[in-house]
Structure 1
């Protein structure tokens, strides 16, 4: 995989993530059972500066990727909720794009306004926004929710990180590739494993981390 010059916004996002401990290097056991040399913890995106850089990166992704025009950003509970909210604001601030945002509750509320959804109604063109697609369970649950609303049309998925690794199935495809093919929608990410490798190559001084991720990519990475 050849090194390419990274977009400055991606560099800023990576450096902010490393400095805050959101992007970690070491040894991490994933839900899949694989032992990864890096880990992205979106739960630590809780400061104003991190949320600012995250929302800017996601807004830029949505504005300049394959994701088409849409009406509502849907953030699956729980990590997708703040991502949807801050990105909705950033899209208006940076690109003048108006949209709504909504999210689901894990448990149906039986008092007050009731129901399992909060925020913008699920109608029109919908984009799901979340942190990382791993096994695909969470994204499929979100897709199932949207499918319950006849006036809603899923048109894309935006995520923070695409690990670009194969699933456990025999297809040799990643979860992202499987979702794109099954539902006929684009799935775009702010960062990919390739981006992280490119950053480490450009930065220098992190040879051990670079080598570990390159080996992991050889073993589990999709063909690019």
Structure 2
């Protein structure tokens, strides 16, 4: 698993990206720049696009890194949110913030064909994975749309489904930003797992950092990263 470090702040922030994301993508860099400005040293993890074992290939590298930290904050997006939910944590973890966590398959993936495909021991990307700017967010760059995976491996979906079926209990100190109408992951599953006081809704695609509403939410994201769910804006 690839890790890229940014900034030289005293506070460590571990950012686990989503499937297909790279630290260099424009939207990811927009968010990382805001985090650096807040004084964080950001360690961004790029997930492999094909795996055969969730624990060994996704969870273990991040777990090993945070286990060596005396103190850190955790930010994650999409598949990274699945990894972040499974991390074994202790007092070193200061806050955990999720962006559009992949805790359940979107309705489009809940069909017999996908169900059958996930039973195949095939680690070659053969299942179509349509990724468009409309799904990602209207600010997604041409370079990111062109670089997005076109196909997913059955083993990747199998391992994701297995991890979703064994999610640890939700920690009520955590903050979640999500699109109720997310076109890629299950918005209703996020809502079911997250108390109302711990979640903030946004619109326009799957990726908050590529959403046209990102400027409306960045202050809340930074507050959550700093202080946890207690810093989220309260509804009147």
**Do they fold alike, i.e. is TM over 0.5?**
no
Give 1 or 2 for the bigger CA radius of gyration. 1
Instruction: Tell me the TM-score normalised to structure 2 length.
Output: 0.30
